[in-house]
A and B are shown apart, each in its own frame.
Chain A
Amino acid sequence: MESTLRLSSGHLQVRDADYDPDKLSVAWEYLIENPEQIAAQIEALDQVDVATPRLLASGIISVQSDSIGVQIMGIDPASRANDPYRHLVSGEFLTADDREGILIGYPLAQNLALNVGDRINLLVNTADGTVDEQLFTVRGIYTTGTTAYDKGIVFLPLAKAQAFSGAGNHASMIFVLLKDREQAEFVAKAIPSRNFKVETWRELNSLLVLVNDFSNAYLTVINLIILGVTITVIVNTLLMSVFERTREIGILSAIGMKGRQIIAMFLAEASLLALGGVTVGSLAGWALSVYFGKVGIYFGDLGLSADMLLEDRIYTYLTLESAINLIITAFVFTLIASLYPARMASRMEPVEALHNAQ
């Protein structure tokens, strides 16, 4: 979730009240004037990590006979907000004063067989509703690990994008990253909204938030199923143990062991079983989590829309809270599951237990 936010929507976006993000218009009336100044004001807020202007325009890349529609994003190359685009497959990142350079994604470069230094023709829809075109040089080829993103977005320095599209000293949005994304609603209210529309990451990623909530619910169901299987195995194991040790229970009962002592004996056994299981499970889970947290699980380009960007690899992570929750839950459920076999053992009449075992 966080990587998607940093890559695409940010924690907050400040836009002109009339701006329609689907149209990518660069007509001045839909843009923010003096965006650097406004970004600086926003960045001055305590909760804000970084705020940077971005200009979005639609365009077409032409290379020989191939043409592909792209989204052109004008960015401040110096801003930390653009770090997700700095993972370069080859070439170098843009500089603010570059007037001919363009940064393209790795899948796009592969589609058009482009390398660093190649020249491409870029058409852009301009502020006055016409089309302009210019030759650019591929300065670098970036990868964010998200094919759906990388194949459709190209970067220009903000000043060049503004000049090329005729946007002047305007930007489509101020892209904001917060120190804590849960502060988004609070910060949104703190930004003066005379002519602006401020949207939080929840509003900007409603589908992703929904899917995330759904996947959390799904994980809960999966956890419950795993717990159900665990309980069944524990009950089965201890019931087998009770049946196999009927004679032993009979002997212990005959020499004076009380029902509650027999329950305690089986609960102690279940606790050891739980302790062993939780230890092995936690270590294995931690090791797998660390491994897949580094290597990731490859899903490839799932063909999802820009509303729901997912990296080609999904990286696992383990929080202390979830680990502790699962450990406690597993332990408690194991003990609860062992109560039935333990009670069953404690209710055996010694005569029957000894007789049945002979």
Chain B
Amino acid sequence: MEVAKLTDVTRIYKIGEVETRALNGVSLTIESGEFTSLVGPSGSGKTTLLQLIGCLDQPTSGKVIIAGKDATNLNRNQRADLRKGTIGFVFQFFALIPTLTAYENVEMPLLLNGKSAAERKKRVMELLSAVGMTDRANNRPDQLSGGQQQRVAVARALATDPKLILADEPTANLDTENGEQVMEIMKKLNKETGATFVFATHDPRVIKYANRVVTLQDGLIVKDSKVNGKS
């Protein structure tokens, strides 16, 4: 089943009179349950591609279909609605809300989805347990290490049980041990829940877990290969 389908997608950024072509006619289909890495050098367009899949941005041309819905021309609020229940994000800089505890950070997407207090509590504890953060539930991000913050971010990304989890350089700010731990957790959740993961990365530690590697260069997909990722 297709979770995301991009057809001939182009994204051009315009700064003043200067145009930068970040993606140049990319077509890509992500199937359910994949653990895909988007790789390539800096400026190759992998983050832009991830943002388009995540409905954080809109293409200049081409078509984007997410979970069966055409997201190409959705307005800001419609895209927010689509993201809310369908897509989870893990960012490079952890991106937790600094004034909220780990528990509250994981709870936030559930609140936005209108879940009841009982449902929220059950789900948050379930997810914190899955990422091994139950004992740090009441800590704020500044009281957690980078690895712990990223584990909370993974839990938050999975909170609404989304079809697609997108991660932009999830291990870039983690040491080897923490990076491995975070990847192990995501791989485990991929296998257990069937959630689809797409990473933009050039970290070999991430790539080795992937079962599909899409290589970008100068805004084009130059290689798309199935691999036997670490399980």
* Chain A positions within 8 Å of B80 at CB level: 253, 256-259
Q: Which of A93-101, A284-292, A315-323, A346-354 contacts B (4 or more CB under 8 A)?
A: A346-354
Q: How far is the CA of A70 from the CA of B83 in the complex (A)?
A: 88
Q: Which residues of A contact B83 (CB under 8 A)?
A: 254-256
What sequence of 0s and 1s flags, for each residue 103-119 of chain B, a beta carbon within 8 Å of any chain A beta carbon? 00000110011000000
Chain B interface extent, by class: 20 to 34
Min Cβ gap A270→B in Å is 17
**Interface residue stretch chosen among A31-39, A173-181, A244-252:** A244-252
Chain A's nearest CB lies how many Å from the CB of B69?
14
The 6 A-B pairs with the shortest beta carbon distances in the complex, nearest first, are: A256-B84, A351-B56, A258-B80, A255-B109, A256-B83, A258-B77
Q: Among B27-35, B87-95, B192-200, which stretch is in contact with chain A?
A: B87-95
Knowing A247-B95, A251-B95, A251-B97, say if A256 contacts B57 (CB, 8 Å).
no
Asked, given contacts A255-B112, A258-B80, whether A349 binds B57 with beta carbons under 8 Å apart, the answer is yes
Q: With A255-B84, A257-B80, A261-B112 in contact, do A350 and B97 touch (Cβ < 8 Å)?
A: no
Instruction: Find chain A residues with CB under 8 A from B81 CB.
Output: 256, 258
Residues of A contacting B205 in the complex (Cβ-Cβ under 8 angstroms): none
Chain B residues near A354: list those with CB within 8 A.
56, 91, 95
CB nearest neighbor in B for A260: B77
B76 at the interface (CB under 8 A from A): yes
CA–CA, A167 to B54, complex, Å? 101
Q: Does A111 contact B (CB under 8 A)?
A: no
Cβ-based interface call for A65 (8 A): no
Is there an interface contact between B108 and A252, defined as CB atoms closer than 8 Å? Answer: yes
CA distance A258 to B112 in the complex (A): 9
B51 in the interface (beta carbon within 8 A)? yes
A353's closest neighbor in chain B, by CB?
B56
Residue B98 at the chain A interface, CB threshold 8 Å:
yes
* CB of B156 within 8 Å of the partner chain: yes
Bound-state CA distance A258–B83 (Å) is: 10
The residue of chain A having its C-beta at the shortest distance from the C-beta of B93 within the complex is: A358
Interface string of A260-297 (1 = CB under 8 A from B): 11000000000000000000000000000000000000
Binary interface encoding of chain B residues 121-140 relative to chain A, with 1 for a CB under 8 A from any of its CBs, else 0: 00000000000000000000
Chain A residues with a Cβ closer than 8 Å to the other chain, count = 20
B25 within 8 A of A: no
**A255-B76 CB under 8 A given contacts A248-B98, A354-B95:** no
List, in ascending order, chain A residues with CB within 8 A of B98's CB. 248
Q: Is the beta-carbon distance between A257 and B112 smaller than 8 angstroms?
A: yes
B136 to chain A, nearest CB (A): 19
Q: Of B93, B96, B113, which contacts A256 at CB under 8 A?
A: B113
Using Cβ atoms and an 8 Å threshold, which residues of chain B touch A256?
A: 80-81, 83-85, 109, 112-113
8 inter-chain pairs at a CB distance below 8 angstroms, sorted by A residue, are A252-B108, A255-B112, A256-B84, A256-B85, A259-B77, A261-B112, A349-B57, A350-B56
CB contact between A254 and one of B56, B76, B77, B85 (< 8 Å): that residue: B56
Q: How far is the CB of A244 from chain B (nearest CB, A)?
A: 10
Contact B89 A259 (CB under 8 A): no
* Nearest-CB residue, chain A, relative to B89: A254
Q: Are B51 and A351 in contact (CB under 8 A)?
A: yes
Name the B residues within 8 Å of A252 (CB-CB): 97, 108
Q: Which B residues are CB-close (under 8 A) to A255?
A: 83-84, 88-89, 108-109, 112, 156
Q: How far is the CA of A350 from the CA of B113 in the complex (A)?
A: 18
Q: How far is the CB of A321 from chain B (nearest CB, A)?
A: 40
**CA distance in complex: A253, B56 (Å):** 9
In A94-132, the 8 Å CB interface with B consists of: none
A268 to chain B, nearest CB (A): 14
Would B95 and A351 count as touching, CB distance under 8 A?
A: no
Cα–Cα, bound, A351→B88 (Å):
15
Are A248 and B56 interface neighbours, CB within 8 A?
no
Residues of A within 8 A of B91 (CB): 251, 354
Q: Chain B residues with Cβ under 8 A from A259's Cβ?
A: 76-77, 80
CB contacts (< 8 Å) of A260 on chain B: these are: 77
Residues of A contacting B56 in the complex (Cβ-Cβ under 8 angstroms): 254, 349-351, 354
